[in-house]
Amino acid sequence: MKKSMIKIAIAVGIVAIVYFVLKSYGATDNIRLENVPKIKTWVASFGAIAPLVYIGLYLVSTVFFLPGTPVTVLSGFVFGPLWGVLYASIASIISVSAAFLIARYVARDLVENWVKGNAQFQRIDEQVEKQGWRIVMLTRLVPIFPFNLQNYAYGLTRIRFTTYVLVSAIFMLPGTAVLVQLGGAFVSGEGNFWKTAIYLGIAGILMLLLSLIPRFFQKKSNDIIAQEERLDR
Protein backbone atom coordinates (compact mmCIF):
# COMPACT_ATOMS: atom_id res chain seq x y z
CA MET A 1 0.00 0.00 0.00
CA LYS A 2 2.85 2.37 0.92
CA LYS A 3 4.55 1.68 -2.41
CA SER A 4 1.32 2.51 -4.27
CA MET A 5 0.97 5.76 -2.35
CA ILE A 6 4.57 6.67 -3.15
CA LYS A 7 3.96 6.01 -6.86
CA ILE A 8 0.82 8.15 -6.84
CA ALA A 9 2.60 10.94 -4.95
CA ILE A 10 5.36 10.87 -7.56
CA ALA A 11 2.75 11.02 -10.34
CA VAL A 12 1.08 14.03 -8.68
CA GLY A 13 4.47 15.68 -8.40
CA ILE A 14 5.10 15.12 -12.11
CA VAL A 15 1.72 16.65 -12.98
CA ALA A 16 2.54 19.68 -10.85
CA ILE A 17 5.95 20.06 -12.51
CA VAL A 18 4.38 19.80 -15.99
CA TYR A 19 1.85 22.45 -14.99
CA PHE A 20 4.47 24.93 -13.82
CA VAL A 21 6.65 24.30 -16.88
CA LEU A 22 3.72 24.93 -19.24
CA LYS A 23 2.69 27.96 -17.19
CA SER A 24 6.19 29.37 -17.49
CA TYR A 25 5.75 29.23 -21.28
CA GLY A 26 2.37 30.95 -20.96
CA ALA A 27 0.56 27.95 -22.46
CA THR A 28 -1.93 27.60 -19.62
CA ASP A 29 -2.89 31.28 -19.75
CA ASN A 30 -4.00 31.16 -23.38
CA ILE A 31 -6.18 28.05 -23.54
CA ARG A 32 -9.09 29.52 -25.47
CA LEU A 33 -10.58 28.59 -28.83
CA GLU A 34 -9.46 31.83 -30.45
CA ASN A 35 -5.87 31.10 -29.41
CA VAL A 36 -5.73 27.54 -30.80
CA PRO A 37 -3.75 28.52 -33.95
CA LYS A 38 -1.14 30.28 -31.79
CA ILE A 39 -0.86 27.33 -29.37
CA LYS A 40 -0.61 25.02 -32.40
CA THR A 41 2.54 26.82 -33.54
CA TRP A 42 4.04 26.50 -30.08
CA VAL A 43 3.26 22.77 -29.72
CA ALA A 44 4.40 21.95 -33.27
CA SER A 45 7.73 23.71 -32.61
CA PHE A 46 8.76 20.80 -30.36
CA GLY A 47 9.02 18.52 -33.38
CA ALA A 48 9.26 14.81 -32.54
CA ILE A 49 8.20 15.31 -28.92
CA ALA A 50 5.19 17.47 -29.83
CA PRO A 51 2.77 14.61 -28.96
CA LEU A 52 4.25 14.41 -25.46
CA VAL A 53 3.95 18.17 -25.01
CA TYR A 54 0.34 17.98 -26.18
CA ILE A 55 -0.46 15.13 -23.77
CA GLY A 56 1.10 17.16 -20.96
CA LEU A 57 -1.05 20.16 -21.87
CA TYR A 58 -4.19 18.00 -21.92
CA LEU A 59 -3.26 16.47 -18.57
CA VAL A 60 -2.78 19.87 -16.97
CA SER A 61 -6.04 21.23 -18.40
CA THR A 62 -7.98 18.28 -16.96
CA VAL A 63 -6.36 18.13 -13.55
CA PHE A 64 -6.37 21.91 -12.99
CA PHE A 65 -9.88 22.60 -14.38
CA LEU A 66 -8.72 24.52 -17.45
CA PRO A 67 -10.94 24.60 -20.59
CA GLY A 68 -10.88 21.18 -22.27
CA THR A 69 -12.58 21.87 -25.61
CA PRO A 70 -9.80 24.09 -27.03
CA VAL A 71 -7.19 21.48 -26.09
CA THR A 72 -9.08 18.72 -27.88
CA VAL A 73 -9.60 20.88 -30.98
CA LEU A 74 -5.88 21.71 -30.81
CA SER A 75 -4.98 18.07 -31.51
CA GLY A 76 -6.68 18.30 -34.90
CA PHE A 77 -4.81 21.50 -35.71
CA VAL A 78 -1.42 20.08 -34.77
CA PHE A 79 -1.65 16.44 -35.86
CA GLY A 80 -4.50 16.35 -38.38
CA PRO A 81 -7.88 14.54 -38.22
CA LEU A 82 -6.49 10.99 -37.90
CA TRP A 83 -3.38 11.21 -35.70
CA GLY A 84 -5.16 13.94 -33.78
CA VAL A 85 -7.86 11.53 -32.63
CA LEU A 86 -5.22 9.05 -31.50
CA TYR A 87 -3.19 11.55 -29.48
CA ALA A 88 -6.27 13.25 -28.01
CA SER A 89 -7.69 9.88 -26.97
CA ILE A 90 -4.43 8.81 -25.32
CA ALA A 91 -4.23 12.18 -23.56
CA SER A 92 -7.83 12.00 -22.35
CA ILE A 93 -7.41 8.47 -20.94
CA ILE A 94 -4.25 9.43 -19.07
CA SER A 95 -5.84 12.63 -17.78
CA VAL A 96 -9.13 11.22 -16.48
CA SER A 97 -7.18 8.36 -14.87
CA ALA A 98 -4.91 10.82 -13.07
CA ALA A 99 -7.84 12.84 -11.71
CA PHE A 100 -9.59 9.67 -10.52
CA LEU A 101 -6.50 8.41 -8.68
CA ILE A 102 -5.84 11.81 -7.10
CA ALA A 103 -9.38 11.86 -5.73
CA ARG A 104 -9.28 8.30 -4.46
CA TYR A 105 -5.83 8.20 -2.90
CA VAL A 106 -4.37 11.71 -2.52
CA ALA A 107 -6.96 14.46 -2.08
CA ARG A 108 -10.15 12.66 -1.07
CA ASP A 109 -11.16 15.16 1.62
CA LEU A 110 -10.71 18.08 -0.77
CA VAL A 111 -12.82 16.47 -3.50
CA GLU A 112 -15.51 15.55 -0.97
CA ASN A 113 -15.78 19.24 -0.11
CA TRP A 114 -16.13 20.11 -3.80
CA VAL A 115 -19.12 17.80 -4.31
CA LYS A 116 -20.63 18.09 -0.85
CA GLY A 117 -24.33 18.86 -1.14
CA ASN A 118 -24.28 18.50 -4.92
CA ALA A 119 -27.52 16.75 -5.87
CA GLN A 120 -26.15 15.64 -9.24
CA PHE A 121 -23.19 13.91 -7.62
CA GLN A 122 -25.44 12.22 -5.05
CA ARG A 123 -27.55 10.90 -7.91
CA ILE A 124 -24.47 9.62 -9.72
CA ASP A 125 -23.15 8.00 -6.55
CA GLU A 126 -26.45 6.18 -6.03
CA GLN A 127 -26.63 5.03 -9.65
CA VAL A 128 -23.04 3.75 -9.59
CA GLU A 129 -24.18 1.41 -6.81
CA LYS A 130 -27.12 0.19 -8.93
CA GLN A 131 -25.90 0.38 -12.51
CA GLY A 132 -22.11 0.36 -12.27
CA TRP A 133 -20.40 1.09 -15.58
CA ARG A 134 -23.64 2.22 -17.26
CA ILE A 135 -23.70 5.48 -15.32
CA VAL A 136 -20.10 6.23 -16.38
CA MET A 137 -21.18 5.62 -19.97
CA LEU A 138 -24.15 7.94 -19.58
CA THR A 139 -22.22 10.81 -18.01
CA ARG A 140 -19.52 10.59 -20.67
CA LEU A 141 -22.17 10.94 -23.37
CA VAL A 142 -24.58 13.32 -21.62
CA PRO A 143 -23.01 16.43 -20.00
CA ILE A 144 -25.13 16.30 -16.83
CA PHE A 145 -22.08 16.89 -14.62
CA PRO A 146 -19.01 19.07 -15.39
CA PHE A 147 -16.40 16.93 -17.17
CA ASN A 148 -13.35 17.89 -15.11
CA LEU A 149 -15.23 17.56 -11.83
CA GLN A 150 -16.76 14.19 -12.66
CA ASN A 151 -13.28 12.75 -13.18
CA TYR A 152 -12.55 13.51 -9.54
CA ALA A 153 -16.05 12.64 -8.34
CA TYR A 154 -15.83 9.08 -9.64
CA GLY A 155 -12.79 8.58 -7.45
CA LEU A 156 -15.11 8.89 -4.45
CA THR A 157 -17.45 6.15 -5.66
CA ARG A 158 -16.95 2.40 -5.38
CA ILE A 159 -16.48 1.83 -9.09
CA ARG A 160 -13.36 -0.12 -10.01
CA PHE A 161 -10.56 1.89 -11.58
CA THR A 162 -10.17 -0.48 -14.54
CA THR A 163 -13.92 -0.34 -15.28
CA TYR A 164 -13.92 3.44 -15.05
CA VAL A 165 -10.96 3.80 -17.42
CA LEU A 166 -12.24 1.30 -20.00
CA VAL A 167 -15.77 2.73 -20.17
CA SER A 168 -14.47 6.31 -20.21
CA ALA A 169 -12.05 5.52 -23.03
CA ILE A 170 -14.81 4.04 -25.19
CA PHE A 171 -17.49 6.64 -24.61
CA MET A 172 -15.27 9.73 -24.65
CA LEU A 173 -14.10 8.75 -28.13
CA PRO A 174 -17.15 10.05 -30.12
CA GLY A 175 -16.93 13.54 -28.60
CA THR A 176 -13.16 13.58 -29.02
CA ALA A 177 -13.46 12.60 -32.68
CA VAL A 178 -15.93 15.41 -33.40
CA LEU A 179 -13.75 18.13 -31.87
CA VAL A 180 -10.56 16.84 -33.45
CA GLN A 181 -12.22 16.66 -36.87
CA LEU A 182 -13.25 20.30 -36.55
CA GLY A 183 -9.66 21.30 -35.91
CA GLY A 184 -8.22 18.87 -38.45
CA ALA A 185 -10.50 20.13 -41.21
CA PHE A 186 -8.56 23.36 -41.51
CA VAL A 187 -5.20 21.61 -41.50
CA SER A 188 -6.03 18.77 -43.90
CA GLY A 189 -7.95 21.12 -46.17
CA GLU A 190 -4.60 22.71 -47.07
CA GLY A 191 -6.33 25.87 -48.25
CA ASN A 192 -8.63 23.95 -50.62
CA PHE A 193 -12.22 25.08 -50.01
CA TRP A 194 -13.88 21.84 -51.12
CA LYS A 195 -11.46 19.63 -49.23
CA THR A 196 -12.00 21.67 -46.10
CA ALA A 197 -15.76 21.53 -46.65
CA ILE A 198 -15.63 17.71 -46.87
CA TYR A 199 -13.80 17.43 -43.56
CA LEU A 200 -16.21 19.90 -41.96
CA GLY A 201 -19.08 17.85 -43.37
CA ILE A 202 -17.67 14.71 -41.75
CA ALA A 203 -17.38 16.58 -38.46
CA GLY A 204 -20.98 17.80 -38.83
CA ILE A 205 -22.28 14.27 -39.43
CA LEU A 206 -20.36 12.99 -36.42
CA MET A 207 -21.75 15.84 -34.33
CA LEU A 208 -25.31 14.97 -35.41
CA LEU A 209 -24.82 11.31 -34.54
CA LEU A 210 -23.26 12.29 -31.23
CA SER A 211 -26.30 14.43 -30.38
CA LEU A 212 -28.57 11.42 -30.95
CA ILE A 213 -26.56 8.95 -28.87
CA PRO A 214 -27.16 10.68 -25.50
CA ARG A 215 -30.91 10.78 -26.12
CA PHE A 216 -30.96 7.05 -26.77
CA PHE A 217 -28.94 6.19 -23.69
CA GLN A 218 -30.78 8.75 -21.57
CA LYS A 219 -34.09 7.05 -22.45
CA LYS A 220 -32.62 3.63 -21.69
CA SER A 221 -31.24 4.89 -18.39
CA ASN A 222 -34.57 6.47 -17.41
CA ASP A 223 -36.33 3.20 -18.21
CA ILE A 224 -33.89 1.27 -16.02
CA ILE A 225 -34.22 3.74 -13.15
CA ALA A 226 -38.04 3.73 -13.38
CA GLN A 227 -38.06 -0.06 -13.38
CA GLU A 228 -35.80 -0.20 -10.32
CA GLU A 229 -38.00 2.33 -8.49
CA ARG A 230 -41.06 0.18 -9.16
CA LEU A 231 -39.27 -2.88 -7.84
CA ASP A 232 -38.18 -0.99 -4.72
CA ARG A 233 -41.81 -0.24 -3.97
210 close to 181: Cβ distance less than 8 angstroms? no
Q: Which long-range contacts (CB under 8 A, 24 or more apart) does 127-133 make?
A: 127/225, 128/154, 128/157, 128/158, 128/159, 129/158, 130/228, 131/221, 131/224, 132/159, 132/163, 133/159, 133/163, 133/164, 133/166, 133/167
pLDDT at 96: 94
Q: How confident is the model at residue 150 (pLDDT cuts 50, 70, 90)?
A: confident
Rounded CA gap, 63 and 23, in Å? 14
| Of residues 45, 81, 92, 108, the one with CA closest to residue 187 | 81
pTM of the model: 0.76
206 close to 174: Cβ distance less than 8 angstroms? yes
List, for residues 206-215, the tens digit of each pLDDT value.
666 655 665 6
Structural domain including 19 reads 2-232
List, for residues 81-137, the tens digit of each pLDDT value.
889 999 999 999 999 999 999 888 887 877 887 777 777 777 777 778 777 888 888
How high does pLDDT run on average in the chain?
77
Tally of structural domains, the chain:
1
Strand ranges inside the chain, DSSP E: none
Name which of 44-58, 120-134, 170-184 the model is least confident about: 120-134
Torsion region of 160: left, alpha or beta (phi above 0 gives left; psi -120 to 50 gives alpha): beta
pLDDT at 231: 43
pLDDT at 224: 47
Average pLDDT rounded to a whole number, residues 189-205: 59
**213 Cβ neighbours under 8 A, 6+ residues apart:** 141, 174
pLDDT at 140: 84
List, for residues 16-41, the tens digit of each pLDDT value.
676 676 666 666 666 777 778 888 88
Rounded CA gap, 12 and 104, in Å? 13
Q: How confident is the model at residue 228 (pLDDT cuts 50, 70, 90)?
A: very low
